[in-house]
A = this chain, B = another copy of it.
Amino acid sequence: MENKLGSRPQVTGHLSRARMLISCPDQPGIVAGVSQFLYEHDANIVQSDQYTMDPEGGMFFIRIEFDLPHLDARIDAFERDFQQLATKFNMSWNLSPVSHKKRLAIFVSKEDHCLLELLWHWRAGDLDADIAMVISNHDDMRGLVEPFGIPYYHVPVTPDTKKEAERRHLELLEGQVDLIILARYMQIIPQTFIEHYNNRIINIHHSFLPAFVGGKPYAQAHNRGVKIIGATAHYVTEELDGGPIIEQDVQRVSHRDSVDDLKRIGRTIERTVLARAVSWHVEDRILVHENKTVVFK
């Protein structure tokens, strides 16, 4: 599909740059083992962040960004060799070459601000990913999306077509996307779907969780008379609004603000928070442990 809005800046991929996320039970020698491995494989660490939950017997998390010349040719051998170290330390790990852009699917309903923010960041070159598709239960935003050269799929969802819609969604996504973003998508996500894309579905909830779970959070906030409102980006789990929190932000409000004012102010918080969470996921900055996130900013 042609992009009618002009070219977006080419993010000249660091062809030799890759990122690793590793988590394992803490024990002496992990950093030494990993950094020695990287050194012996010609990789130069350009950034690393580490966090240990509790020095004695807790979990160890690390994010390493490194440069490895001729990465594409050597990655298979590198991964094979690394698995030995991983086995020794009982690591969960994954390696992402920066040049392999993650593919996103954005789900949206009738509110466009979160979608627009993502499109804008992407267009400005600030979101280093491919937007594979936009899926909506309405046709309203086709005109916004297609000029960017992004496929737009209208999949209506009614009580009768729910099962069919789910099948259609999975079919569209299968093998095509690495991350699903619910950009104010106002439909329940089925359980099978959540399991299939475990820790790969990001939702934006329009409240400062855990305050005001469920529906109409701005009306709830207005009713309670809070002086600050917020929004929360989180991974989607079985429990409604209960998944691991990635990012939150807030804004002051006052007695003068009506529910509509809260919605208007909230739109800016929602889009900012969602865009940050998506960037961090795309840049492999997030590890999930139990029901919490470790975010290496």
Q: Report which A residues bind B (CB closer than 8 A).
A: 4-6, 26-32, 35-36, 38-39, 42-52, 55, 67, 112-113, 116, 120, 124, 126, 140, 143-144, 147, 208-212, 224-228, 230, 244-250, 254-256, 264, 267-268, 272, 291-295
Contacts and interface: CB of A to CB of B under 8 A. Distances in A.
A66 to B, nearest CB: 9
Contact of A248 (B6, B45, B227, B272): B227
Contact of A208 (B28, B211, B272, B291): B211
30 contacts: A6-B143, A28-B39, A28-B42, A28-B44, A30-B45, A31-B31, A31-B39, A31-B48, A32-B35, A32-B36, A32-B39, A45-B52, A46-B52, A46-B55, A48-B48, A55-B67, A124-B264, A126-B264, A208-B208, A208-B228, A209-B211, A210-B211, A210-B226, A225-B245, A226-B245, A227-B248, A228-B230, A250-B250, A255-B293, A268-B272
A75 to B, nearest CB: 18
A267 B116 CA distance: 15
B255 A225 contact: no
| Copies of this polypeptide in the complex | 4
B55 A6 contact: no
> What secondary structure prevails in chain A residues at the interface with B?
mixed
B44 A55 contact: yes
Nearest to A275: B268
Given A210-B211, A268-B272, A50 B51 contact: no
A8 to B, nearest CB: 11
Contacts of A245: 224-227
Contacts of A124: 112-113, 264, 267
B254 A228 contact: no
Given A4-B143, A46-B52, A225-B292, 14 more contacts: A26-B44, A30-B45, A31-B39, A31-B45, A36-B36, A45-B50, A45-B52, A46-B55, A49-B50, A51-B255, A126-B267, A225-B291, A255-B294, A255-B295
A48 B246 CA distance: 22
A44 B56 CA distance: 10
Contacts of A42: 28
A209 B229 CA distance: 11
A155 B49 CA distance: 46
B210 A140 contact: no
B29 A39 contact: yes
A47 B39 contact: no
Going nearest first, the 9 A-B pairs with the smallest beta carbon separation are: A225-B292, A32-B39, A32-B35, A211-B211, A31-B35, A28-B44, A46-B55, A255-B294, A227-B248
